[in-house]
Structure 1
């Protein structure tokens, strides 16, 4: 099926429009890896805060993971540390709600930062990289066949997402679109990280569910994706209500000029 989406037809989870004030340039047609790729990719979602002194090493690690073609690495900034002296400008309550939903599904006693959720099946701080690699290996073992979406960007900036038919065995999946900033450096003048310059990578600025998917071949076109230079797109296909991820892909940001 082919569905063209405008904003009222989608279920918005967070974050509003991505960073404003970036000039739009003409985009060439760019297509991500097609469906059925055996080598992934796999998701790593980092829940972080600029107000948390334990987070910068995990932020740096996510920046390394973001360079890997087999990883869709996304940074979600939570708001529950804003009260301790520094308000994270990227943080939203909806991001915190996403982390709390994972905590419920993964049967955690509490939420914490930094936390990396790998493919929706497990979590770790990311301080010891071996822990994340173990979770990635477990994700590959659990889900060797992937519902990998195909992403393409038109000259007008619209984003098209295509999924081939995939056996869901009666359990639906959510198809979620994330628009992210590639990198930001922020000088912090108060709170636990006072005096530091913090680097954050693949910061999610907009996340919304395009559809609840029944596994039939489908296509969605997002006319207002807003993929300006420096902004990338990722699509996560996961069992409904924050279950395991069964497919994902990314469209890397364009560089202006």
Structure 2
């Protein structure tokens, strides 16, 4: 005869086992995704430090945004080669410039893939972020988990389609600039993007991917619609 307490223990163990196989259901926190703030910048640009400082404030003081600093390459030939410049950043900004019709310039902030602004113009960028929060579209919730050198990406089901981007970034760098427009200055830069690559296409069905961790100390995944609007985002 099985003791009733043993039966209860067995039932509890079975429930835990079942839960481990249950499909992932995004929590309310996961669904409430951050607004993505992309700053296109360069250490060679004398107009960029105020925009960098603005982004740093967002990194330190806000949980409702995902601020990322994309260092472009086209300043590298003008006196100082930015050690964090990426061709992928230059290409991404060029696509935005083609969409918005304003070309490529620094500093530029793009809010949620929807609007473009001079990155140091707080009076314009702040309200744009507030509007994006109010009109925020989330096609699918995203969840990230790290296991050693591997990153697990889980994307919930939803409506629509889009492209999944994996972004690797460093938390903080301090650089003494020796030449160029910022020569003699020391710049503190946060959330510096070190790598960007496409994970694949999302077409509405839930999916799970396991990928090597990207270059950088941290990782984020962005889901963008075919027209470039950000419709999903998460970071570790």
**Interval of TM-score (by shorter of Structure 1 and Structure 2):** 0.7 to 0.9
Does 2:225 match 1:239?
Answer: yes
Counterparts of 1:167 and 1:177, CA distance in 2 = 21
Q: Which is greater in Rg?
A: 2
Q: Is the 8 A contact 1:34 1:150 kept in 2?
A: no
Of 46, 50, 56 in structure 2, the residue corresponding to residue 53 of structure 1 is: 46
Unaligned 5+ segments in structure 1 are 1-32, 252-257
Highest RCO, 1 vs 2 (Cα 8 Å, sep ≥ 6): 1
What is the TM-score when the length of structure 2 is the normalising length? 0.83
Name the SS of the counterpart of 2:123 in structure 1. helix
Secondary structure at 1:198's aligned position in 2?
A: strand
Q: Distance in 1 between matches of 2:207 and 2:106?
A: 36
Aligned in 2, Cα 1:78/1:179: closer, same or farther, shift over 3 Å?
same
Q: CA RMSD in A?
A: 1.9
**SS of 1:136's equivalent?**
helix
- The aligned length equals 210
What is the match of residue 233 of structure 2?
Answer: 248
Q: Is this contact kept in 2: 1:34–1:149, CA < 8 A?
A: no
Verify the 8 A CA contact 1:36 1:145 in the aligned structure 2.
no
Q: Secondary structure of the residue that 1:111 maps to in structure 2?
A: coil
Q: Does 1:164 align with 2:153?
A: no
Counterpart in 2 of 1:133?
126
* Secondary structure of the structure 1 residue equivalent to 2:153: strand
Q: Which position in structure 2 is the counterpart of 1:142?
A: 135
2:35–2:136 CA contact under 8 A, matched in 1:
no
TM superposition shift of 1:142: 2.8
Task: Tell me, yes or no, if the aligned pair for 2:166 and 2:214 is still in contact at 8 Å.
Answer: no
Give the Cα–Cα distance (whole angstroms) in 2 for the partners of residues 112 and 225 of structure 1: 30
Structure 1 segment 1-257 matched on structure 2, within 5 A: 34=27, 37=30, 39-67=32-60, 68-108=62-102, 110-154=103-147, 156-168=148-160, 172-222=161-211, 224-225=212-213, 231-240=217-226, 243-251=228-236
TM-score by length of 1: 0.76
The structure in which a higher percent of residues are helix is: 2
